[in-house]
Chains A and B, each alone.
Chain A
Amino acid sequence: NAGVTQTPKFRILKIGQSMTLQCTQDMNHNYMYWYRQDPGMGLKLIYYSVGAGITDKGEVPNGYNVSRSTTEDFPLRLELAAPSQTSVYFCASKAGEPQHFGDGTRLSIL
């Protein structure tokens, strides 16, 4: 049972580049979340999804997009990378309680 899997684990991007952070879960959870963790801070919600085809904005959605075509996958898209998006990104999923987290993606924008 893999749980929540995030790829890649590390990535360096140049300003203006685009990329997709992948997240997949094998627990058949309906709820999925993307958080970012800036240095010395707690996690903040970027986007969430309550099921396939349904997504909504969280606290800090600017500069990101998501899609949820299947229950398993919830990719996060950065269209024009900016230095302010340097952070660690966590994907999570849940059915009831608690949320299950992936191991995170460390992203640096230079």
Chain B
Amino acid sequence: AQTVTQSQPEMSVQEAETVTLSCTYDTSESDYYLFWYKQPPSRQMILVIRQEAYKQQNATENRFSVNFQKAAKSFSLKISDSQLGDAAMYFCAYRMNYGGSQGNLIFGKGTKLSVKP
């Protein structure tokens, strides 16, 4: 069974600095998607970034970028120029890319990010 592990329960970063959140996953599949979701105190689940496993190029979305290491099964999120609004729980998630999974996501336990002014 696929699993997602986030080894950092909490992280802290100074405003305007850079922080990296770690995620590792276990799968025997070669075709899958990886995601980072942000959950602020409002409880919404907000997609931050996604990566398709067959794409070697790391995904980027403005201040957010990933370091995808397929062989190592690692998928870290880098937040540059951290802002107070980045404070939230961040979840790493995985899903297989064929019908048996029906597209459901498997989540890690999350990393709580604090941003200090």
Contact = CB atoms under 8 A, between A and B. Distances in A.
A50 interface: yes
A59 to B, nearest CB: 8
Given A42-B4, A42-B110, A88-B43, A99 B102 contact: no
Contacts, number: 52
Contacts of A97: 33, 50
A98 B102 contact: no
Q: Per DSSP, are chain B's interface residues mostly helix, strand or loop, or mixed?
A: loop
Interface residues of B, number: 20
A40 interface: yes
A50 B102 contact: yes
Interface string A54-90: 0010100000000000000000000000000000101
Interface string B19-48: 000000000000001010000001111010
B68 interface: no
10 contacts: A40-B110, A41-B109, A42-B4, A43-B105, A48-B103, A94-B103, A97-B50, A99-B47, A103-B42, A104-B44
